[in-house]
Amino acid sequence: MKVAKFGGTSVASAEQIKKVADIVAADKERKIVVVSAPGKRSSADTKVTDLLIRLAEEALSQGDTENALEAVVARYSDIATGLGLGDDIVATIEADLRKRLEFDRNQPESFIDLIKASGEDNNAKLIANYFQSLGLNAVYLNPQDAGLYVSDEPGNAQVLPEAFDHLSKLADTKEIIVFPGFFGYSKEGKLVTFPRGGSDITGSILAAGVEAELYENFTDVDSVFAANPNVVANPVKIKRMTYREMRELSYAGFSVFHDEALIPAFRKRIPVCVKNTNNPASSGTMIISEREYFLNPVIGIAADEGFSTIYVRKYLMNREVGFGRKLLQILEDECLSYEHIPSGIDDTSVILRQNQLTPEMEARIIKRIREELCVDDVYVEKDFAMVMIVGEGMHNTVGVSARATAALARANVNIEMINQGSSEVSLVLGVHQEDADRAVRALYEEFFAGAGETVQ
């Protein structure tokens, strides 16, 4: 059995959904099909999820929801017409949306979850209806009926262990199951959505639940690239990579997957293949547990912006027992998470996501560090980028750091911080945000010049 997930661009229009049907029909092992809400049909278009957020906001502000509702229904109507479906499925979708709008609005987070999730849910109903019109033995399956139980954390649902036992029963299906991504249900029966990349998470959970032979993730690119194509012209394609490499690159800004999306599949050692809905014959990128050989020590380079650094200096800091704990306790008290903590004998830096800090919070933190830890100096600098070099082969290769720093020096990029993970799968270089793209291009040229079209 294969689990195939189709992203928003793959199900954005009738033309795209026809391609999905051809792909599913071409392989009888594709028994579970996970679908997203309709995405953009062009760069100027609006995703259905964004239309639904607008609808939810109108409802919560006691505004006129009719125009917002009609915009959503029109998208589904346009798709249904293009697929040659009757009016019944559109009427079903409109009735579902109106019923959701009657939900208790005194719980705004749960209300928004319910409205947003209708994008995937109703698209799954429509696509199952289309499959049936083609003569395929297909059914729509709601996550609650399947037993996809999650924690009650609106917008941040985590799958519960017992869900996998329920989902394992789907392995015996004779039908093609069309399953909506992005959400599950609490044990009390409340709909709850996953964090960003939610449909990828759903696909990964289902693949783990049925112990699939393969989890296929269909998107709008032929493969994962060694660098962002918007930064590096024609980057090489990655043929094979490990889960650890993908997680590191996703964390650093690769948009193919959210960095936590593959964890369920990873734990069951299920291979994942990234493929292109518009070019299904392409082999795509295989994501596997281990690679036995490395033609290139580096598999990819990514950069993520929007970091701040809290610099702390105190003479003989290294001899003060508990200093690090007390510093991190101050951040914990403000509900802040950190990314890196490079340090010396008299100074340390805490790097964290900039969007977590408000001016008031920043002032409180500096005041507490100065008064409670009696430091010599403390200040915050903003607008940093973390450039990450990733590759399982790095730990067996001499000179990767030297090559990276030399490449940045030639590009006149100043390095503010260097941090290598203990696994040696990644090397992180902190630079000023305005230098991030230049740094990525310099590192790509250093490690991939002459690599050909693919790397593995």
Residues at the binding site for ATP are 5-8, 219-220
Is 80 exceeded by the pLDDT of residue 453? no
Please report the pLDDT score of residue 328 as a whole number.
Answer: 95
At 455, is the pLDDT very low, low, confident or very high (cuts 50, 70, 90)?
Answer: low
Is 70 exceeded by the pLDDT of residue 451? no
* Alpha carbons within 13 A on the beta-carbon side of 374: 4
Torsion of CA 182, 145, 89, 194, to 10 degrees: -10
Residues pairing with 435 in the sheet: none
Distance CA 141, CA 103 (A): 22
Residues at the binding site are 5-8, 49, 120, 219-220
What percentage of the chain reaches a pLDDT higher than 90? 75
Please report the pLDDT score of residue 422 as a whole number.
Answer: 60
At 111, is the pLDDT very low, low, confident or very high (cuts 50, 70, 90)?
Answer: very high
Distance CA 76, CA 219 (A): 20
Outline which parts of the chain fall under CATH 3.30.2130.10: 300-455
Rounded mean pLDDT, 241-258? 79
Outline which parts of the chain fall under CATH 3.40.1160.10: 2-220
Judge residue 212's burial from the number of C-beta atoms within 10 Å of its C-beta, 0-12 exposed, 13-18 middle, 19 or more buried. Answer: buried
Backbone angles phi, psi at 30, to 5 degrees: -80, 90
E-strand spans in 155-265? Answer: 176-180, 183-185, 191-193, 214-219, 224-225, 237-238, 240-242
Is 60 exceeded by the pLDDT of residue 287? yes
Please report the pLDDT score of residue 397 as a whole number.
Answer: 82
Distance CA 447, CA 401 (A): 11
Q: Quote the tokens at residue 180.
A: 């909506």
Please report the pLDDT score of residue 367 as a whole number.
Answer: 96
Distance CA 83, CA 123 (A): 13
pLDDT digits (tens, 9 = 90+) for 130-153: 999 999 999 999 999 999 999 999
Distance CA 175, CA 215 (A): 18
Provide the mean pLDDT of the chain.
92
Q: Which position has the higher pLDDT, 126 or 261? A: 126
Among 100-104, 196-200, 297-301, 435-439, the minimum mean pLDDT is found in 196-200
Other beta carbons within 10 Å of 161: 7
Q: Quote the tokens at residue 353.
A: 């996501």
Is 70 exceeded by the pLDDT of residue 452? no
Q: What does CATH list as the number for 300-455?
A: 3.30.2130.10
Q: Quote the tokens at residue 447.
A: 């490690």
Is 80 exceeded by the pLDDT of residue 197? no
Furthest C-alpha separation in the chain = 76
- pTM attached to this predicted model: 0.85
Residues at the binding site for substrate are 49, 120
Q: Are 140 and 125 in contact (CB under 8 A)?
A: yes
Other beta carbons within 10 Å of 148: 25
What percentage of the chain reaches a pLDDT higher than 70? 96
Rounded mean pLDDT, 275-302? 86
Q: Which residues contact 88 (CB under 8 A, 6 or more apart)?
A: none
Is 80 exceeded by the pLDDT of residue 260? no
pLDDT digits (tens, 9 = 90+) for 230-239: 899 989 999 9
Distance CA 98, CA 91 (A): 11
CA distances from 84 to 13, 128, 242, 456 (A): 13, 13, 42, 43
Distance CA 267, CA 263 (A): 6
Q: Which residues contact 64 (CB under 8 A, 6 or more apart)?
A: 58
pLDDT digits (tens, 9 = 90+) for 305-360: 999 999 999 999 999 999 999 999 999 999 999 988 988 899 999 999 999 999 99
Torsion of CA 143, 146, 147, 153, to 10 degrees: -10
pLDDT digits (tens, 9 = 90+) for 3-58: 999 999 999 999 999 999 999 999 999 999 999 999 999 999 999 999 999 999 99
Distance CA 378, CA 364 (A): 12
At 186, is the pLDDT very low, low, confident or very high (cuts 50, 70, 90)?
Answer: very high
Evaluate whether the domain defined by 2-220 bears CATH number 3.40.1160.10.
yes
At 293, is the pLDDT very low, low, confident or very high (cuts 50, 70, 90)?
Answer: low
